[in-house]
Chain A
Amino acid sequence: MGLFDKLAGWLGLKKKEVNVLCLGLDNSGKTTIINQLKPSNAQAQDIVPTIGFSIEKFKTSSLSFTVFDMSGQGRYRNLWEHYYKEGQAIIFVIDSSDKLRMVVAKEELDTLLNHPDIKHRRIPILFFANKMDLRDALSSVKVSQLLCLENIKDKPWHICASNAVQGEGLQEGVDWLQGTDLSFYSRKTRCM
């Protein structure tokens, strides 16, 4: 950060920047969710499966988010961990209608939580139990049960049911994320 930026920050001219990692299995709706959070004039019409990852930005009243929209495809999942250090918050998206792969989502979540770059940080995690509009979707309670979220004791977390296509449930999640003491984690402090 240059001196000018710092000055702007102190004067409240510049919003606090937060890096967010958007993770979850392929087809869970990560890109769709982020697309909805962008200002309507910047939204993409067609959403295609992400290759590797893409970086998106959007702002709320108080924060400026930089989102790393990672691809959830099996062969790209090993990229995730390279961005753990930079992330100050995590959005984890689950396709609530994909019961078969709930174990896979749990496995990836457990791997994430046990990663040395994440394990000892009080990094906030926002879960979206997405695709709640589908007929055979599980409730967010059931999803959090299957993922054993109650075992996450040392990190603030929150789960919202969402429908990314219609944009339902997304604001609730972002509000929660803003409410957490993000600025605290934005200082690059680790091992608290």
Chain B
Amino acid sequence: MSSVPIEIKDSAVSSSKWLDAHYDPVANLYTFSSCITLADLHGDGENKLVVGDLGTGAGNMKLKVYRGTGLLSENTLLDLPTGLVSFLMDQHEPRTPAIAVASGPFIYIYKNLRPYFKFTLPTLEVNPLEQDVWNQARGDMIDPMTLKEMLEGIRDKAEIPLSVRSLRFLMLEPQEMESYVNLQKEQPIRRQTIITCIGTLKKNMADDDAVSCLVIGTESQDVYILDPEAFTILSKMSLPSVPTLMDVTGQFDVEFRIIVACRNGNIYILRRDSQKPKYCIELSSHPVGLIRMGKNVVVGCAQETMQSFTQKGKKLWTTYLPAPVTTMALLDLPTRGFQAILVALANCEVHVYRDKNVVSTIKTQDVVTSICFGRYGREDGTLIMTTKGGGLIIKILKRTAVFDDRDSISGPPIAQSIRLNVPKKTKLYVDQTMRERENAVAMHRAFQMDLSRLRLAAARAYVKALESSLTPMSASLTEPLKMNAVVQGLGPSFKLTLNIQNTAACRPVMNLAISFLYDENLYSMRTAFFKIPLLVPGLNYPIDTFVECLSDKGISDIIKVFVLREGKSTPLLTAHINMPISEGLALN
């Protein structure tokens, strides 16, 4: 396996924002984001990569340090690491940071990569009933079976849980019990908790190289803050659930904030001077990653979502991810004033988010389990990832890379943020508005008046039309008729079909005639007058006749149809037929 940088192969990559500095698929690094950090361990301005390697299976836990592309050193760890941080514990020169590795109930401190100190969490209170039962066992007052029954009774109801010793005893087969009791009964009972997460908090200065306290979350639902030099407990706070992820800001002596994501799916915010959480954010699914961006918290949730909240718990946004989150990290480039969120997904992609917009997508060869971004070696924008299969990927952000919010795949369309060019209000508009405001009543009255006049005019015209039977609907009550006309043909011959219907309920109509009125220079009709047969109510009577257009000048006119009653001169109804222009020429 060569450890030289892999070359850029396809052209798509060359336009990418990232340079592929190193990829070792068999680096044998098995770790999570909580156990990986970058630190200037030797004080030479060159940051090293420090990894708490969980190994495979039971053994092989190691503290590994990388320089550039190569492994610099390896220390064996006694137990699985749950968290790893680098911190400055004192003011001594040279100011090289110490490494704290949390595993089980212990924190192992390394200075110059040599074991320096071991901190043990204080033991917890033992259930007095449990103590009592074991005392009886020690005095051989009860046999192992009775001991088992009594411990089971305590386990089921007690406020204070049993110690590991009793729990292990309850798991034993009857034949193993005797020897276990004999071995354990002389020892004092200890109940110990374990560390679930670890962070650092500046003591009293905000500088980058200020001395920091360790902040630890435990399985016993507590958060402890430790003094950096003496490793005494400076402060203890309690949570309603077991902390799993933690972000710490501020200074211990001034003001600080600890944001903790807990196993019950809630996020709590602890502050100085409060033993209990100040705010609580209830999530709809379990938190997988927790990042603080300025004053806001961004949480990656188990249900393929990412959500942002203010530190007071107000939800800002939710974004839906294409795959489950495996881990998250902050991309912070203070020299360029740029911050974003790195989200590793189970589909072998790492997305860079600015707020809820994806600004860059990195495809990886394997699922990424840990991410770390920062200064590595001498390069400020280095992205370090380890994969499920134990690989190590190092990418460097190009100096010229710009993250354009607009090339995001999802998020709101750009059009939404473009301001419309609304013209300024003209003087005319303003004057008009003023006039309307001042004369509202008069204008309303004028409008109402005009509206009434319009209605009156319409009603008069209607009445007139009815009186002179100009409509195709008969107004007479004795002969309720309806007629419509259809013209067919292109010309010069047209077929005229009149559909006449008697709309009375049961009375037939008789003695009707039809007459046409037209310009005789333009049209000729074979019969311009004919009688209509008896009209049975409800039926439609189509009456056909033919019209000949005499002009070839492309003009047309109206043909008027009158339905007449024998012996009366006023028509029952009138229809005007707009004749179409004759498009054909008469055959002579």
Contact = CB atoms under 8 A, between A and B. Distances in A.
Interface residues of B, number: 23
A102 interface: yes
Contact of A102 (B5, B335, B399): B5
A115 B379 CA distance: 23
Between A77, A98, A148, the greatest number of chain B beta carbons within 10 A of the residue's beta carbon is seen for A98
Contacts of A146: 4-5, 7
B185 interface: no
Interface in B1-34: 3-5, 7-8, 19-22
B380 to A, nearest CB: 6
A171 B69 CA distance: 31
Contacts of B378: 25-27, 98, 101
B4 A107 contact: no
A100 B379 contact: yes
A100 B4 CA distance: 8
Interface string B369-396: 0000000111110000000000000101
Nearest to A111: B400
Interface string B360-376: 00000000000000001
Nearest to B20: A103
Contacts of B398: 107
B22 A100 contact: yes
A104 B379 contact: yes
Given A27-B378, A74-B380, A142 B4 contact: yes
Contacts of B19: 103-104, 107
Contacts of A103: 5, 8, 19-21, 396
A142 to B, nearest CB: 7
Q: Which of A25, A100, A111 has the most CB of B within 10 A?
A: A100
B161 interface: no
A55 B379 CA distance: 26
A108 B19 CA distance: 11
Interface string A96-133: 01111111100110010000000000000000000000
B68 A100 contact: yes
A122 to B, nearest CB: 25
Given A26-B378, A146-B5, A100 B394 contact: yes
B128 interface: no
A160 B377 CA distance: 25
Sorted from nearest, which 6 A-B pairs have the closest CB atoms?
Answer: A103-B19, A100-B68, A99-B69, A103-B5, A103-B21, A102-B5
Interface of B: 3-5, 7-8, 19-22, 68-70, 335, 376-380, 394, 396, 398-400
